[in-house]
Amino acid sequence: MTLEVRTVPADIPEVDDLLDAYLDEREATFPAAQGSYSRKRTPAAEFTPPNGTFVVAYDGGHPVGCGGLRRIPDDGVDVRFEVKHVFVTADRRGRGVATALMDALEAGAAELGATAIVLDTNDSLVAAGSMYRGRGYDRVEPFNDNPNATAWYRKSVG
């Protein structure tokens, strides 16, 4: 595997393909007990510097994962950026792609002036939650009303 993570505009075709695959998979695997999955894609403009960034992981030139970072309102203490749409294709999971994506997003947050990175996820995504906790994210009270989320996390930058 020859992995390269690049910062890209969030409206290029490979981003659309990856995000469609992400939303399709989340919808298909969403826990029935939690109701139906709300398909919502963050507008590409929110991932534009200085208010955000978007990255794609390429293996041999083929897109295999993505993730975005966008500025959200400060909470009175921190300059907050939120991680969104972290996704790795099924055939590349367990090979460090998500780690490389998160490394790039966290570096991007620092460059953009964040003092905290936040994200939400669903507890059914066990590997994702484990990765976030392993990277130093602490579970916090909800900071948004995402109907798909059951867990919210925060990590200080710097």
- Report the distance separating Cα 27 and Cα 48, nearest Å: 27
pLDDT at 158 (0 to 100):
76
The sheet that has 62-72: what strands, in order across it?
A: 3-7, 52-59, 62-72, 80-88, 116-121, 151-156, 138-140
pLDDT band at 21 (very low <50, low <70, confident <90, very high): very high
pLDDT band at 1 (very low <50, low <70, confident <90, very high): confident
- Report the distance separating Cα 124 and Cα 136, nearest Å: 20
Q: How many CA atoms lie within 13 A of 156 on its CB side?
A: 2
In a domain, 54, yes or no: yes
pLDDT band at 8 (very low <50, low <70, confident <90, very high): very high
pLDDT tens for 140-158 read: 999 999 999 999 999 999 7
- Where does residue 58 rank: exposed (0-12), middle (13-18), buried (19+ CB within 10 A)? middle
pLDDT tens for 44-98 read: 999 999 999 999 999 999 999 999 999 999 999 999 999 999 999 999 999 999 9
In a domain, 140, yes or no: no
Please tell me the total count of domains within the chain: 1
Q: What range does the domain containing 75 cover? A: 3-114
Q: What is the CATH number of the domain that holds 82?
A: 3.40.630.30
Q: What is the largest CA-CA distance in the chain?
A: 43
In a domain, 148, yes or no: no
In a domain, 48, yes or no: yes
Q: Which of 158, 157, 119 is nearest to 139 (CA)?
A: 119
